[in-house]
Amino acid sequence: MSTRPFLSLLLIVVVAGCGFAPVTSAPTIAPATLTPLPSTTDPAPAPPSQTPTIVLPSETPPPAAATSTPTPTPLPLIRILITGDINPGRCPAQIARVNNDFTLPYQAVAETLRAADIAIGSLDGTISDYSPPMPCADTLNLIGPARTVEGLQFAGFEAITLATNHAKDCSAVGGICQNRTFRDTVSNLATVGIQPIGVGDSLSGARAPLIITRGDVRFAFLGVSMVGWEAWASESQPGTAPISSETLPDVIASIQAARAVAEVVIVLPHWGIEYATVPTGPQLEWAQAMIAAGATLVIGNHPHVVQGVEQFPSGLVAYSLGNFVFDQNPEETRQGVVFEADFRGSTLESWQLLPIHIYKLYQPQWTDPDESKIILDRIAALSAALPERDAPTATP
């Protein structure tokens, strides 16, 4: 049966004892016993079998050096932050253009993101000058100008999953535009050193993990998308790595292959139903399978609202973090969380959720204690309501 301790902070402190070897005192030298000389009248004694040798030390030997068990050096903490969905178009793009400043969406949160060892985002759109961004209105085509990467770089993102249903949006041009905006997104991110996750020039490329090394620990990131089949890659077309009931075995194989070359595997699925606060049955099934295959974390997005967190003996699933930079009006779409994972070596030592509120349809800010409690209580309730897992059957 899975357990769901919510927002627990697991701190492991290892203290090694120091033992000391006993100090050996200087050896005691007993005085030698001399045989008295025989008198002239006594018969000569028989010669001894050997002459005793007395060794007098020139100085008292020093005590034995004290020894101690060395205290192992603690492994450094590796802090990873993962955000909810980022919309590069519509209101965020129009506001940035008017102000000639594409860092505006991130100015209230960038300091925290940049302080992480690894910061990962989820781009729900394209970055291309192929077409102007759509107006700040209710449209489903999410494309942002090439300068959008200035804000992502300012925020400190090292990598971003592009495995989303808007990965090939073309804005007013419509259609798939021969993968032009998709390729532009990858290229524009590369100009500022941000690496893509979950996409490739072919299906095998999209399923390949992104490996990021910190210290001696290799972290493998995989991105997959349940929605937006038109953006899925094939062996002859670029696109996103799919996840479905039919392709789940391929996802499992990707996790196992990543686990063979990395100590930690983190999967970023774009899945579920928009605005739903509970995961679907297939999501629950896939989540358990991905953890069993070797993923330490499965951190989802797409519903635009927060969902529950489920903890397994060997890993953890956060079904949806909600939005991060987005321009939707309902209150719950303007409240999200950033997932923080703290690793000690390759061990997940602790995790927590950092609540945010999106202001003016484009800018996330860390919430005050009252709103934080509202968001975290909501996630706690949703976590508690997740279906109970059957206990694993013991092997005879």
> What is the pTM assigned to this prediction?
0.82
- Bridge pairing between strands 143-144 and 159-161: unpaired
pLDDT tens-place string over residues 218-249: 999 999 999 999 999 999 999 999 999 999 99
Could you give the angle at which helices 248-261 and 281-293 cross, rounded to 10 degrees?
30
Secondary structure of the chain in HEC code, one letter for each residue: CCECCCCCCCCCCCCCCCCCCCCCCCCCCCCCCCCCCCCCCCCCCCCCCCCCCCCCCCCCCCCCCCCCCCCCCCCCEEEEEEEEEECCCHHHHHHHHHHCCCCHHHCCCHHHHHHCCEEEEEECCEECCCCCCCCCCCCCCCEECCCHHHHHHHHCCCEEECCCCCCCCCHHHCCCHHHHHHHHHHHHHHCCCCEEECEECCHHHHHCCEEEEECCEEEEEEEEECCCHHHECCCCCCEECECCCCCHHHHHHHHHHHHHHCCEEEEEEECCCCCCCCCCHHHHHHHHHHHHHCCCEEECECCCCECCEEEECCEEEECCECEEECCCCCHHHHEEEEEEEEEECCEEEEEEEEEEEEECCCEEEECCHHHHHHHHHHHHHHHHCCCCCCCCCCCC
What is the number of other CB atoms lying within 10 angstroms of the CB of residue 252?
Answer: 17
Please give the Cα distance from 229 to 244 (Å, whole number). Answer: 10
In sign, the C-alpha dihedral spanning 317, 325, 81, 357 is negative
**Residue 333 pLDDT > 90, yes or no?**
yes
pLDDT tens-place string over residues 10-59: 333 232 333 333 333 333 334 333 334 344 344 444 444 444 443 444 45
Predicted confidence at residue 65, as pLDDT, reads 61
- Report whether CATH 3.60.21.10 matches the domain 77-384: yes
Lowest-confidence range among 3-17, 100-114, 135-149, 362-376?
Answer: 3-17
pLDDT tens-place string over residues 248-260: 999 999 999 999 9
Question: Could you tell me the residue ranges of all domains in the chain?
Answer: 77-384
Predicted confidence at residue 64, as pLDDT, reads 60
**Residue 311 pLDDT > 50, yes or no?**
yes
Predicted confidence at residue 175, as pLDDT, reads 61
Q: Per-residue pLDDT averaged across 85-101, rounded? A: 97
**Residue 391 pLDDT > 70, yes or no?**
no
Please give the Cα distance from 325 to 157 (Å, whole number). Answer: 14
**Residue 173 pLDDT > 50, yes or no?**
yes
**Residue 319 pLDDT > 50, yes or no?**
yes
